[in-house]
Chain A
Amino acid sequence: MTTREKDPTLVVVQLSGGNDYLNTVIPHSDPNYYDNRPTIRYPDEEILRIDDDVAFNPHMRALKDLYDEGNVAVLHGVGWENSTRSHFRAMDIWHTAEPDVVGTEGWLGRAIRELDPEGENPVTAVNVGYGLPRALVAPDASVASVADLEAYGMLSSIERREHREALLQRFANMYAPAIGSGPVMDYIGQTGLDALKGADMLKVAPEQYSSGVEYASGNPLAQKLRDVARIHFAGLGARIFYTEHGGFDTHASQVGNHPKLWNEVSSAIGDFWDDLREHDADGNVMMFVFSEFGRRVKENGSGTDHGAGGVAFAIGPGVEGGMHGEYPETRAEALVDGDLAPSVDFRSVYTTMLEDWFGLDAAPMVNGRFEKPGFVRK
């Protein structure tokens, strides 16, 4: 194992749409839970009981197993004061760590810049999926965005190798920084250079991979996490991975949709850790699972509306397994406009990961100093 492979690595799983905290980590001894949710509550006999107070959703079996092994830190009540109910504003805030003004730099983008200050490795961070989450965006932070790991690269349809390489060299020359191009031109040029180099590096990942773990084929998150595993095993120096799973905006029909989503997320995460263990490559990996906000305490029709405080998870052998922080109070008087009041600032959670996992100075990345909940093992 090279030292590079021992470098701490973070895999972020974003649950888009606003995951319902109360039906994820269920406060099963709390009468308010049952009173507020006559339609969508879970009966006692179905839940995956953790202790006298809380239980996992019945569709989080794999996550529960990981929890029982001490590999899951449940981070209660994550959010921020005066949070917004707008999806993308909330997601923007999570991505930029800027609740008050519109930020343009992502917190992970800033971390990438610290992890690879000279921008030498275009796969220091890899987004697995289409597009690029703002969390990874910062000037001079290079990120590969890979939707199809097998066919990743420019001019891949040109068969003659020397011919293709000659043209790729022209691209590289054309993308070289030129004076007076302007910021967008410079950005495209740098992206082009990174794309060329990153593709060259990533092509080994599928070639080298073999595994006894079969990720579910109809589960998009499982397929994405498989790509994360393949790139991780290739030892290319990727330190930050980002993936997303959507559909959590359960205003309606929550009883059908939310279980399906957690089945997918939980089993994909289970497969991923099985794969990492099989390859003895789990020791330097931590996973962080979050959503932009929780949902309203009181159900509305067959679903729930946008809320505030939510739950996040840190997973891996490097975390202090167990419950962290306080489940926000569910009494009507304690709610903020019907929402759970966040009990820990999301930037605190980031601070722990950046400082105790990556060993970086978090303040410039999260725009301030925050307390540091101790969910990463010393």
Chain B
Amino acid sequence: MASRENIALMAHLMRRAGFGARRGEIEELAERSYEDVLELLLNPQGQPDADMDTLYRYHPMAERSLSVPAGQINWLYRMVTTERPLQEKMALFWHHVFATGDSKVESAYQMLKQVQLFREFGMGNYRDLLVRLARDPAMLYWLDQNENHKRSPNENWGRELLELFSMGTSNYTEKDVFECSRAFTGWTMGVKVHPLLWGPHLWPFEFHPEDHDTEVKSFLGHEGRFDGEDVIDVIVRQPACHRFIMRHLYNFFVADEPQVPAWPIEPPRDPGAIRELCEVFVESDYEMTPVLRFLFNSSFFREAQYQKVRNPAEVVAGTLRLTGDMNAPDPRWGDLGNQTGYMGQSLLDPPSVEGWHTGKEWINSGALINRVNFMADQVRNADLPGVRDIVERVAASNGHGMTPEHLVDECLDLLGPLEVKDETRVELVEQASAAGPVELGTQTGYEDFRNRVGEVMALIAGTREYQFG
């Protein structure tokens, strides 16, 4: 049996490098070394891809639809069922950073294509990913690249590329924005075409040489007849770019940082960690996998358990993976797509190119109500396999008689392991003991016990501590 400490560490890794796991899976993984498990996560192609065909058979809209809720079903289904959790988590990471919104793109299918790009290349080379991003039709349209002409450069993409996707503010001038935009003139999309016999149209990327400004540009101290790729090559060599992307990575995978607009002013929570990540990033020539390997192996990661407020995608996918609900086509998928949106994270449709504010800003009264309700309804439903498993484990954990304290501590262990403040535990224990002593021996006794476990877990879902992951 793995030690409690190893279980906690493995649960931490699976929460951060994926969307969590049930206790049985964590116990199996904890039989292996941490490094071995990490390699499995870092090599997603070693695992089968999510079985999307089964979903599409029952929910054809989820495959090719313009509608955001249908697209959200598609992505959430992957998060809930994937055997390549880190690949999916990285796709979500890049969606946070390269925030593109269906509010303007108006095609969930086109947005899913962008997510697929993050999925396929998000663990690869950052420089190459930026080049692919600059050719992604959803992004092109989102930031008006189709309006960026030789004679009238449109600076929307050029500006956000520097400000939000690579370097952060105050590391370039307005002139750099303009020159950067010039370099991307002529990068546009063509007329929408049908990808197959049915379904919505897709844009193809097109380069229009006659609309490309071939003159010399002066960008971040470099001069040349730059095109978009040349500009990206200059950007990725900037230390500001390394710091910016590594801080994003730290904020997403390790511990909550202040919001992005504050970064030029507020130093990182752990400057040493950012420095080390930058070194690995540069040494690896901007490859993401070595950076992730370093990050997850670092002591700053291992020590950062419960240092992040979970984002709504983590809440929803993590809860479903825990309870074993919705891991197959189900009529209820129709309503599930919206769930993260109710908690403040409408997947495929972030509020602006800035993406979502993270950390404590996930929590406000409305969002908290939605999170707690979703999690509580799941974990108190004893018909779900994951909940049944927890109930059985709690029941089996003490042959000599179950005390309310023991019941609570087991629930906390199986949902985390989660440590809560004494004041929180007191309430949980009182709830567990409200109906008198626990009797496991009889049918009605067991049912009563099962209800109590459900109630205690619903309360745990609402605790402050459980909002972190």
Q: Which residues of A contact B (CB under 8 A)?
A: 16, 85-89, 91-92, 101-102, 104, 122, 127, 130-132, 142-148, 152-157, 166-167, 170-171, 173-176, 178, 181, 184-185, 187-189, 191-192, 194-195, 198-199, 246-247, 249, 251-252, 300-303, 305-306, 337
Contacts of A305 in B (CB 8 A): 154-156
Contacts of A145 in B (CB 8 A): 364-367
Among B104, B169, B366: residue with most chain A CB under 10 A: B366
- Cβ A130 vs Cβ B149 within 8 A: no
- Cβ A132 vs Cβ B364 within 8 A: yes
- Looking at the complex, which one of A91, A192, A306 makes contact with B368 (CB distance below 8 Å)? A192
Chain A residue with the shortest CB-CB distance to B149: A301
Q: A16-B352, A87-B352, A170-B431 are in contact. Are A156 and B373 (CB under 8 A)?
A: yes
Cα distance, A107 to B332, chains bound together (Å): 42
Contacts of A157 in B (CB 8 A): 373, 377
Contacts of A185 in B (CB 8 A): 464-465
Contacts of A152 in B (CB 8 A): 366, 369
Interface-facing stretch out of B213-221, B267-275, B355-363: B355-363
B238 to chain A, nearest CB (A): 19
Chain B residue with the shortest CB-CB distance to A101: B265
> What would be 22 A-B contacts, judged by CB atoms less than 8 Å apart?
A86-B163, A88-B352, A91-B352, A92-B261, A127-B364, A130-B342, A131-B366, A142-B365, A143-B364, A147-B342, A157-B377, A170-B427, A174-B462, A181-B464, A184-B360, A188-B360, A192-B462, A194-B365, A195-B365, A199-B369, A251-B156, A252-B144
Cβ of B185 < 8 Å from any Cβ of A?
A: no
- Cβ B427 vs Cβ A174 within 8 A: yes
Contacts of B434 in A (CB 8 A): 166
Cα distance, A166 to B459, chains bound together (Å): 11
Cα distance, A301 to B196, chains bound together (Å): 32
Cα distance, A301 to B421, chains bound together (Å): 59
Additional 11 contacts, C-beta under 8 A, given A167-B431, A305-B155: A86-B163, A89-B261, A102-B264, A130-B341, A130-B344, A131-B367, A173-B423, A192-B464, A247-B103, A249-B104, A300-B147
Q: A170-B427, A246-B351, A251-B156 are in contact. Are A189 and B464 (CB under 8 A)?
A: yes
Q: Lowest 4 A-B CB distances belong to which pairs?
A: A145-B366, A195-B365, A132-B364, A88-B354
Chain A residue with the shortest CB-CB distance to B263: A102
Tally of chain B residues near chain A (CB < 8 A) = 60
- Cβ B458 vs Cβ A300 within 8 A: no
Cβ of B74 < 8 Å from any Cβ of A?
A: no
Q: A178-B423, A187-B360, A191-B365 are in contact. Are A88 and B376 (CB under 8 A)?
A: no
Cα distance, A145 to B361, chains bound together (Å): 12
Cα distance, A188 to B367, chains bound together (Å): 11
Among A86, A101, A170, A198: residue with most chain B CB under 10 A: A170
Contacts of A302 in B (CB 8 A): 147
Cα distance, A189 to B467, chains bound together (Å): 11
Q: Which residues of B contact A (CB under 8 A)?
A: 103-104, 144, 146-147, 149, 152, 154-156, 159, 163, 169, 174, 256, 261-262, 264-266, 309, 341-342, 344, 346, 351-354, 359-361, 363-370, 372-373, 376-377, 421, 423-424, 427-428, 430-431, 434, 455, 458-459, 462-465, 467
Cα distance, A166 to B427, chains bound together (Å): 11
Cα distance, A91 to B354, chains bound together (Å): 11
Contacts of B431 in A (CB 8 A): 167, 170
Chain A residue with the shortest CB-CB distance to B380: A158
- Looking at the complex, which one of A143, A170, A181, A337 makes contact with B421 (CB distance below 8 Å)? A181
Q: A16-B352, A167-B455, A167-B459 are in contact. Are A188 and B366 (CB under 8 A)?
A: no
Cα distance, A130 to B341, chains bound together (Å): 8
Contacts of A146 in B (CB 8 A): 366
- Cβ B353 vs Cβ A122 within 8 A: no
- Cβ B369 vs Cβ A153 within 8 A: yes
Contacts of A122 in B (CB 8 A): 365
Contacts of A131 in B (CB 8 A): 344, 351, 364, 366-367
Cα distance, A147 to B340, chains bound together (Å): 13
Contacts of B360 in A (CB 8 A): 184, 187-188
Cα distance, A1 to B427, chains bound together (Å): 42
Among A142, A146, A192: residue with most chain B CB under 10 A: A192
Among A89, A153, A252: residue with most chain B CB under 10 A: A252
Contacts of B376 in A (CB 8 A): 155
- Cβ A303 vs Cβ B365 within 8 A: no
Q: A155-B458, A167-B458, A171-B462 are in contact. Are A301 and B152 (CB under 8 A)?
A: yes
- Cβ B367 vs Cβ A89 within 8 A: no
Chain B residue with the shortest CB-CB distance to A170: B427
